[in-house]
Amino acid sequence: MPPRGRTEGHNGEMIAPPFIQAVAVFLATALAGESEPIAMVTTLTPTALETRPEVTVRGTVIHVDPALRELVVEDDGGGIVVDLGGGAVGSTEAIAVGEEVEITGRVGPGEYAPIVSASGLVSHGHHALPPPRRCDPEAFLAGSEHGRLVEVEGIVQQAWHDGERVLLELETAGRLFTAEIPAAVVAAGVLGPDLEALVDAVVIVSGPAKTVSNTRGEALRPWVIVDRAEWFTIVTGGVTFSKSAVTLESIGGYRPSFGGGHRIQTFGTVIHALPGRTLHLQNGHHGVTVQIGAEAEGAEEQFEPGDLVEVAGFVDRSGHVASIRSAAVRKIDHGGAPLPFMVTPESILRVNAASAAGDIQAAPGDYEGCLIRTKGQLIQAQPTVTGGLFVLRSAEMIVNVEADEASFAPFQSTAPGTVLEVTGVVAIDWGVSLQSTAGGAPQRVRLMVRSADDLRILKTPPWWTPARLLAGLVATVMILTTALGWVALLRRQLAAQQRLLAAEMRSRRDAAVEFEATLRERTRLAANLHDTLQQTIGGIGYQLDACLTGGGGTSDETKRHVDVARRMVSYAAGEVQGAVWAMRSLSLGGKSLGEALRDLVVRIGAGRDVKISVGVEGAFGDLPEFVAGNLLLIGQEGVHNALRHGAPSTIDLDLFDDRGDGRIHLRVSDNGRGFVVGKQRGANEGHFGLQGMRERAERLGGTFTVTSRPGEGTAVEATVMRRDYDRQLDGQTDPVRTTPTSRS
């Protein structure tokens, strides 16, 4: 078995494949320093081109492109494009068409065909150009004549200016190619003053052939550059409207005489005129789309539905039905607005399906491109790039209705289920390619509306659609579920609030009961002290005074002891009297809390070298006595604590009633020595002041805070809440007088 890549000769010897032989000859020629035939260079395989081998080619320059810095060079066997690159081999201005050159460089793949990147160029003088050769149309249309000087005959189907140059679209052998007429040739006047006169003319064009390709390197269309005036020849002139017209329905049908690619002449009624020189014509049950040429007659004219027009253009068979392109159009008359056929999309599909199945022409017509009027139920309205799309249900089929932006906007918010009447131009989608000869069937009908007047609402959907009913039921269930959950949550919260309220009421009731009991007990103790201890101490003092007065104990020592005892009794009597007053002063006695605080300050501050002030903001006449009494006790304890432990020079009592949230604030502050909060002596050390104040505030459902720093004084603040049920707990009915805002 021979090695892969080699073949056996008739005598059994191993022979290389043809392309390897070509490469071997090519390399041998290159090593010998001789030029290679261009045909040999252009037939190198893609694998060989990837290595970018160095080559030397020699031929005649047939085209120079200064903008791209390219040359087209041809020898007897082929042509190739040469890239001069960044100027290493000179300027294109120094190279003329007809000059024989020898190019050295590397060959590689180009956009379509191999291209030489030149590294050296040697001129061998100027020679006459070889005459363009009439090439095989199939080879030319396939791109095989790329880089060669060719001559092609064709029919001009379109002509237009592209800057200073002119481009012609020509048809030959049933296919299209482009001829480029540079500005210098246009200036020579070979085209004539009217480009439209060239349309439908038979011309011969010559020049270097190039190929327009895609990104895959596939040939799309040949291109001939007509560099010289003598390379453009008009064989027969174009004729626009002097031919006999054919009916609109027969433009793509059978004709015994072949038109040879020339344009045909027909007529019809305009049913729709689109921006961009597009007309929809109709004659009976036959509709045709017409594209007007860029510089043709009628290109600037405004056409309206109802215009009767005459058309001369080229038949375009690239779609499922024949159309006309590069047309000249002129208006003959204007009739009334075209009347649409009253036909359903289902009927159109049935007519075309029967035609396709029976291999007969659709009768009375296929309705493609015709104006019809139908109705359907809206499924969806959705915007598109060009406007909008209405999706309708007509019987059991779906119909897409296409509209431009102006036609779509007024109906964009139309509710699904609305019944619409639609007037539009028919387009049929077929489920088969154009190359197929069997099995094709119409799949869908599309309509293109011309304006918002082509849409009309016949019936709006009922508000209670199944979807809305379902949504309503779902919403109702959700609301009920949420409501039940909310009720359950509220019940739990209400129960919790009731428990908290009951606990607070018990606490405040206990505070009220405790206050009343404390008040009665203190009053009883005060009376007992007054009736017993205070009277006894007073009697002892009286007896001591009598001893001194009666002359008993005349010695100095005895007098001295009696005098000391008398002073001690006097001091004890003062202390007992103060204690009795303090116990009895808790009863407000019809005074407001502010007045009681002022009386307290006057009593405590008497004989002390300290300034005590009271600030009251608000009226406290309606405050229950057990609440006011507890606050009074807190204030009294706060002042006593400051005097005992702080050694202050000033003490401030501030009482504030916040009617906004029902809170009462009592603050006692001093400028004494202060202490570190948390490290003060407490109940375990026999100091109950702060703890007692806190317990009284908390029993009223309030809070108690202490603020102090060594050397910066101390402040205590009690905050309690007003409650509506306090009057019932207090048992009081007669309000006491109020105290205005003041400070003493």
Predicted pLDDT of residue 383? 95
pLDDT of residue 462: 83
Most confident of 287-296, 404-413, 511-520, 581-590: 404-413
Q: Please state the rounded mean pLDDT for residues 699-704.
A: 87
Question: 556-584 vs 533-550: helix axis angle to the nearest 10?
Answer: 160
- What does DSSP assign to residue 36? B
- What's residue 582's pLDDT? 53
Confidence at residue 572, expressed as pLDDT on a 0 to 100 scale:
64
Check pLDDT > 70 for residue 491.
yes
Q: Which two tokens stand for residue 641?
A: 């604590």
Q: What is the pLDDT of residue 536?
A: 63
Of residues 106 and 554, the one with the higher pLDDT is 106
Residue 10 has a pLDDT of 35
pLDDT at site 185: 95
pLDDT tens digits, 310-330: 999 999 988 889 999 999 999
**What pLDDT is stored for residue 740 in this prediction?**
40
Backbone angles phi, psi at 87, to 5 degrees: 100, 15
Burial of 400 (0-12, 13-18, 19+ CB in 10 A): middle
In this prediction, residue 403 carries a pLDDT of: 96
Tell me phi and psi for residue 178, to 5 degrees. Answer: -115, 135
Q: Answer whether 632's CB lies under 8 Å from 593's CB.
A: yes
Tokens of 686: 């026999």
Long-range contacts of 69-76 (CB under 8 A, 24+ apart): 71/95, 71/101, 71/103, 72/147, 72/208, 72/210, 73/38, 73/101, 73/103, 73/147, 74/38, 74/130, 74/147, 74/148, 74/149, 74/208, 75/37, 75/38, 75/39, 76/37
CATH of range 341-431+440-459; options 1.10.4030.10, 1.10.20.10, 2.40.50.140, 3.30.160.100: 2.40.50.140
- pLDDT of 168 > 80? The answer is yes
Long-range Cβ contacts of 137-143 (<8 Å, 24+ apart): 137/172, 137/173, 138/173, 140/172, 140/177, 140/209, 140/222, 141/172, 141/173, 141/175, 141/177, 141/222, 142/219, 143/112, 143/113, 143/211, 143/213, 143/219, 143/222
Comparing 138-142, 186-190, 736-740, which segment has the lowest mean pLDDT?
736-740
Model pLDDT for residues 132-150, shown as the tens digit of each residue: 999 899 999 999 999 999 9
pLDDT tier, 737 (very low <50, low <70, confident <90, very high otherwise) = very low
Spatial neighbors of 720 by CB under 8 A, at least 6 apart, are 627, 630, 631, 663, 664, 697, 700, 701, 702
CATH number belonging to domain 133-236: 2.40.50.140
Reading the block at residue 196, the tokens are 């439209």
d(CA 323, CA 265): 12
Burial class for 632, CB neighbours closer than 10 Å (0-12, 13-18, 19+): buried
Q: Please, which pLDDT band fits residue 299 given cuts at 50, 70 and 90?
A: confident
Confidence at residue 519, expressed as pLDDT on a 0 to 100 scale:
62
The pLDDT of residue 720 is above 70: yes
Q: Where are the domains of the chain?
A: 7-126, 133-236, 248-334, 341-431+440-459
User: So what's the pLDDT on residue 734?
Assistant: 41
Range with lowest mean pLDDT among 10-24, 139-153, 468-482 = 10-24
Can you give the pLDDT at residue 435?
Answer: 47
Architecture, CATH, for domain 7-126: Beta Barrel (2.40)
Confidence at residue 700, expressed as pLDDT on a 0 to 100 scale? 82
pTM, 2 dp: 0.55
Tell me the pairing of strands 307-316 and 371-383. Answer: unpaired
Which residue did the predictor score with more confidence, 216 or 441? Answer: 216
Phi/psi at 3 (nearest 5 deg)? -60, 150
Q: What is the pLDDT of residues 204-252, one digit of tens each?
A: 999 999 999 999 999 999 999 999 999 999 998 887 887 788 888 888 8
pLDDT at 479 exceeding the cut of 50: yes
Check residue 601 and give its pLDDT: 86
Q: Residue 576: what pLDDT? A: 62
Q: Tokens 């082929």: give the residue.
A: 78
State the pLDDT confidence band at 574, using cuts at 50, 70 and 90: low
Predicted pLDDT of residue 18: 45
**Per-residue pLDDT tens for 445-459?**
999 999 999 999 999
User: What are the tens digits of pLDDT across the range 269-298?
Assistant: 999 998 778 999 999 999 999 999 888 888
Please determine, for residue 677, whether its predicted confidence score (pLDDT) is greater than 60: yes
**Residues whose CB is less than 8 angstroms from the CB of residue 111 and which lie 6 or more positions away in sequence, other chains included:** 213, 217
Q: Is the pLDDT of residue 739 over 60?
A: no
pLDDT-based confidence at 331, cuts 50/70/90?
A: very high
Residue-wise pLDDT tens digits, 541-550: 666 666 666 5
Pairing of strands 419-430, 442-448: antiparallel
Among 386-390, 545-549, 692-696, the range with the most confident prediction by mean pLDDT is 386-390
Which one is predicted more confidently, 686 or 439? 686
- Condensed to tens digits (0 to 9), the pLDDT of residues 40-97 reads 999 999 999 999 999 999 999 999 998 889 999 999 999 999 999 866 676 777 889 9
Per residue in 580-635, pLDDT (tens digit) is: 555 544 556 677 888 888 888 888 888 788 999 999 988 777 788 888 888 888 99
Q: Give yes or no for a contact between 222 and 173, defined as CB atoms under 8 angstroms apart.
A: no
Q: State residue 59 phi and psi, 5-degree precision.
A: -175, -175
Per cent of the chain over pLDDT 90 is 48
Tell me the mean pLDDT in the region 493-508. Answer: 77
Domains 133-236 and 341-431+440-459 share a fold: yes
Q: In the structure, what pLDDT confidence band is assigned to residue 521 with cuts at 50, 70 and 90? A: low
For the chain, give the mean pLDDT. 83
248-334 has CATH 2.60.120.10 classification: no
- Give the residue-averaged pLDDT of 419-439: 77
Q: Which CA distances in Å does 377 have to 421, 450, 662?
A: 9, 20, 66
